Structure 1
Amino acid sequence: MIGYAAFSELSLSNDSDERGHAAHLAALAYLGHDGSADEQAALYAALIGFLDDTSVKVRAALAYGLLHSDRAPRPVMLALLQDSAVISRAVLQYSPVLIDADLMPVVAQGEASALAAISQRARISPRLVSALLARGERGLVLRVLRRPEVAVSASSLESLSHHWADDAEMRGALLDRADLPGTVRLALVRKVAASLSACRMVRGALAPERLERLVRDGSEGALTAIGEAEAPDRRAGFVSLLVAENEIHTRLLLHAVVSGRVVFFGACLAGLAETSEHKVFSLLESGSSAALSALFDRCGMPGACGRLLVRLVMLARSTDLADDVAARHYVVTTLTEELITEYDGEIPEALEEAFCYLNEQNIALARMAARGVMASFARTVESSRRLPLPGPDEQMQLSVA
C-alpha cells in the first residue's frame, strides 16, 4: 500500500525508475478501483499525465500495467498506440480494448513489425484476417496460416493456394489447416506429387517405374482420404469436381473400399449415378447382386468392372476395412483368387489395371498384417518348441550364381 502523498512524490521524481513505478501503480489502481468517482477521476488524470513523460520507460510501465485489461481507458491506449515502436507493438498485440476500426489503418499502412504484432493477437476477426492476407507478405501469411484457431475464409485459402503453389513451405502451412477445402487440398497434393517426381534427389534414388507407382499410390491414397474427410455439405462439390475431370475410375473405387473409405466410395457412386447418397448407401449395405450390378451399370461401369465391384462390396460387408489390416488382406486375397479362378488365369484386358492394383495391395497388406505376428507367437509358445526345419536330405542347394 502507498499513500497518495507518497505516490505524488514518486510521480514528480527526477528518477525515471521511480516515475515508472508510480505509472505502473496508477494503472493497477485504476483497473482495480471501486471507490468514489472523484478518486477514479484523479487516477484517470494521473494516467493521462504519464503519457507526456519524457522517458520511454515510464510510458512503457504505464502501458504494461494496462495492456491486458478490457477496462483500460481507450484514449490512453490509443495514445500509447502512437508511442514508440516497442510500446506500440505491445499494445497492438495484447490490448483487448482495440477494435477492428483501430487496427485496420495499421494493417493498411503499417510496417512489418506492426503487422506481425496484430497477427499474434488472441483474437483476429475474419475482416482483419482478410486484410492481413491481402498484404501478400510471405512471413505474415505464414504466421496467420500457422494459427489453426484463426478462421480463414475458403476463398482466401483458395487464392493463397494459387498464388503460393510453388512455395513448399507455404504449401505445408496450407495443408496443415483443417479448414482447407477439399478441392484446394487435392490441387496442392498434386502439386507436391509433381514436385517430388521432378526432384533430382528423388529421381536419383528410385527407378522410374517405382517412383511412378509410389507417386500414383500416394496421390490416390491422399485423394480418397480427402474425400472421406470432407464435411457432408462440401463432399458433393468435391466429388462433382472429380466427376467433371473424369478422375473416378475402377482403380480409385477399389482403393477407396480397400482402405476403408466407404463414405467417399458411396459419394463417388452417387455422383456418377446422379442419385442420392442415401439410396446408394442403402444398396451398398443390403442390396442384392442384381441391384448392385444395376447401380454400377448406371455409374458407367458395366460388364467385368461392374462384376468385380459387386464382389468387392459383398466381401466388404462382413469385415471392418477401416481399422482391420488383416480383414483388408483377406478381402484382397479372396478377390484376387476368385478372379484367377473365374477367368482361368486369363484376366480380361478391361480388368488388367484393377488386377495389378489388387496384386500390389496384396503384397503391401501382407507385409502390414505380418508385422509382429512371429514375435507374438514366440512369446506365447513353450520355450522347448523348435522350428520345423527339414532334415539333411531335404535341404535344397542353390545353383552357383
Structure 2
Amino acid sequence: MIVKKFLKWFDTATVTQRCNATSALARAYAQGRIPAEEGPGVEAALSLIVDDPSPKVRLALAEGLAGAEHAPRSVILKLAEDQFEVAARIIALSPVLSDNDLIEIIANGRMLFQQFVACRSSLSIQVSAALAEVGSRDAVADLMDNVHAPIARISLRRIAERFGDDPELRSRLFERGDLPCDVRQALVERLGAALAGSELVRFAIGGNRSRKITDEACVNATLTLADVVAAEEIPALVEHLRMSGRLTPAFLMHTLCSGNVDFFAAAVVALSGMGDSRVRGILNDGREAAIRALYRSIGLDRDLAPVFVTATLMWRAASRRQAGIDVGSVTRELMRQYASESGQAPAVAELLRLVETLHLNWHRKSSRDYAHALAMEPAAAAA
C-alpha cells in the first residue's frame, strides 16, 4: 500500500522531488531498512525508477544502490548501460556485476567505461586479462596502477605487445618485478629503437652512430638481464633471443667469458636441439673433439669453434681447481693464446676484438672498484 501511494505521487512530482525520494528509497533499501513484506513492492518501484526520463533521478538511484550487494540485478545492469555520470558509480563499485558482466563492458569498447572497470577495488585475473587484450591505452594504464588487480604474466606479455612503444606504459612495465624476463628484453629492444629514431638523439650524435650506440646499449642490457634472470625463466629468455636472432657468436662469447655458464648452456641446448643433460655433460666432461662438434652443431664455423673450445676448457679447469677465475683471467688468456697467430679469419679477428673489449671493460671496472676502496680507507680509519 505504501509503495502504491509512492508511485502515484512519483508520477506527478517534480524532478527535484523525485531525486530526493529516489535517494531516500534506494538508501533505505541498500541499508536493509525496508520491511520484508514491502521488499517486492520496493524492488518493483526501483525497476520503474530506472526508466525515469531525468538522468538526475537515475543518478540518485545509482548512488543509492552502487554499494548494495543485494540490489536487483536487472536494475544494476540497466544502470550500467546508462550515460556516463550514471553508469560510472555502478561499474566502478557495484558488487552485483559479475566477471562476465565486466568483461562484456570491456568488450563493448567504451573507453571511459573500461577505465571504471580497471579502477574497481577488486578484479579477477580474468577481467584483468580482458583489459590487457582489448582495453584502451588509458584503461590499461589504470589497470597497472590498481594495486588490487592481479595481472597474469601472459597478460603482461600482451600489454607489452600492444603498448611497448608507449613510453609511459613501457616505463610502468619495466617497474614491475613480475614482468617475464623475455618480455623485459623485448621492451629493451623497443626502447633502443625509440632512442635510435629520436630526432634529438640523431641530431646530437648522428644517425649511424646513434644506431650503433643504442644497439650496444641493448646488447649490454640484455647481457645484464641474462646474468640476473631466475633459473626458471632462462629457457623463455633464450628462446626469445633465438627467435629474434640475438644469439650471435658475439653474444655467446660475452656470456661464456662472463662465466654465465647456466645461460650459455641453455643457449647451446636451444641452438643444437640436444637435451640439457647431454649438452651439460659435454661442456663439463666431454673431450675437446666432442666440445668442438657441439659448437659446430649450433652453427659456429670451423674458424670460430676453437676459440669457444678454448674458453670452455679454461672455465672447466678453473672450476675443478676451485681457483678464482674471472672475466679478466679468461679474456687475458684468450688474447695471449691467439695473439701470435697470423692470417686469422676475419670472423676470428672480429671475435678477438670483442674479447679485447671485454677485457678492457673488466680492467676499467676493476680499477674503479680499487680506487673506490682506497678512497674509503681513510674514512674507515677515522671512524
1:308-338 Cα offsets, whole Å, 9 max, x none, are 2332455478899xxxxxx8xx612222333
Correspondences of 1:26-105 after superposition (within 5 Å): 26-30=28-32, 37-38=36-37, 40-41=39-40, 44=43, 47-48=46-47, 51=50, 59-103=58-102
Q: Secondary structure at the match of 2:31?
A: helix
Tell me what 2:327 maps to.
Answer: 332
Structure 1 362/346 Cα, relative in aligned 2: closer, same or farther at 3 Å? farther
How far off its partner does 1:123 sit? 1.5
1:342-370 Cα offsets, whole Å, 9 max, x none, are 45676966242332232343145225524
Structure 1 378/141 Cα, relative in aligned 2: closer, same or farther at 3 Å? same
Structure 1 223/344 Cα, relative in aligned 2: closer, same or farther at 3 Å? closer
Count residues in correspondence.
Answer: 359
76-85 or 105-114, larger mean C-alpha shift: 105-114
Structure 1 146/318 Cα, relative in aligned 2: closer, same or farther at 3 Å? farther
Give the aligned CA root-mean-square deviation in angstroms: 4.6
Tell me what 1:298 maps to.
Answer: 294
Structure 1 275/376 Cα, relative in aligned 2: closer, same or farther at 3 Å? same
Q: Whole-Å Cα distance in 1 between the matches of residues 94 and 193 of structure 2?
A: 45
Say whether the 8 Å CA contact 2:26–2:61 is kept in structure 1: yes
The answer to whether structure 1 residue 219 and structure 2 residue 221 are counterparts is no
187-196 or 47-56, larger mean C-alpha shift: 47-56
Say whether the 8 Å CA contact 1:63–1:87 is kept in structure 2: yes
Structure 1 317/368 Cα, relative in aligned 2: closer, same or farther at 3 Å? farther
Q: Whole-Å Cα distance in 2 between the matches of residues 369 and 120 of structure 1?
A: 47
How far off its partner does 1:303 sit? 1.4
Tell me what 1:19 maps to.
Answer: 21
Q: Secondary structure at the match of 2:123?
A: coil
1:188-247 Cα offsets, whole Å, 9 max, x none, are 432322332333433444488975664344222333455563774x75455345446653
Tell me what 1:354 maps to.
Answer: 354
Q: Whole-Å Cα distance in 1 between the matches of residues 64 and 50 of structure 2?
A: 13
Tell me what 2:273 maps to.
Answer: 274
Q: Could you tell me the percent identity over the aligned residues? A: 23
TM (norm. structure 1) is: 0.67
335-344 or 47-56, larger mean C-alpha shift: 47-56
How far off its partner does 1:27 sit? 3.1
Structure 1 61/295 Cα, relative in aligned 2: closer, same or farther at 3 Å? farther
Say whether the 8 Å CA contact 1:189–1:219 is kept in structure 2: yes
List alignment gaps of at least 5 residues for structure 2. Answer: none
1:247-275 Cα offsets, whole Å, 9 max, x none, are 32443234335667543222112223433
Tell me what 1:390 maps to.
Answer: none
Say whether the 8 Å CA contact 2:69–2:95 is kept in structure 1: yes
Correspondences of 1:1-400 after superposition (within 5 Å): 16=17, 18-19=20-21, 22-30=24-32, 37-38=36-37, 40-41=39-40, 44=43, 47-48=46-47, 51=50, 59-103=58-102, 106-109=105-108, 111-121=110-120, 122-123=122-123, 126=126, 129-130=129-130, 133-134=133-134, 137-144=136-143, 149-151=149-151, 154=154, 157=157, 161=161, 167-169=166-168, 171-172=170-171, 185-206=184-205, 214-225=213-224, 229=229, 232=232, 235-236=234-235, 238-240=237-239, 242-243=241-242, 247-256=246-255, 261-281=260-280, 287-288=284-285, 291=287, 294-295=290-291, 297-300=293-296, 302-312=305-315, 314-315=317-318, 331-343=326-338, 350=348, 351-366=351-366, 369-370=369-370, 372-381=372-381
Say whether the 8 Å CA contact 1:69–1:96 is kept in structure 2: yes
Q: Whole-Å Cα distance in 2 between the matches of residues 184 and 244 of structure 1?
A: 13
Q: Whole-Å Cα distance in 2 between the matches of residues 202 and 319 of structure 1?
A: 47
- Matched to 2:310, the amino acid is R
How far off its partner does 1:115 sit? 2.9
Q: Whole-Å Cα distance in 2 between the matches of residues 271 and 248 of structure 1?
A: 10
Q: Whole-Å Cα distance in 2 between the matches of residues 207 and 354 of structure 1?
A: 24
Give the helix-richer structure, 1 or 2.
2
Q: Whole-Å Cα distance in 1 between the matches of residues 44 and 50 of structure 2?
A: 10
Say whether the 8 Å CA contact 2:328–2:363 is kept in structure 1: no
1:98-154 Cα offsets, whole Å, 9 max, x none, are 23554455445464322322333332564784477447x443454456668454684
Say whether the 8 Å CA contact 2:118–2:139 is kept in structure 1: yes
Tell me what 1:323 maps to.
Answer: none
Q: Whole-Å Cα distance in 2 between the matches of residues 86 and 316 of structure 1?
A: 68
Q: Whole-Å Cα distance in 2 between the matches of residues 110 and 343 of structure 1?
A: 63
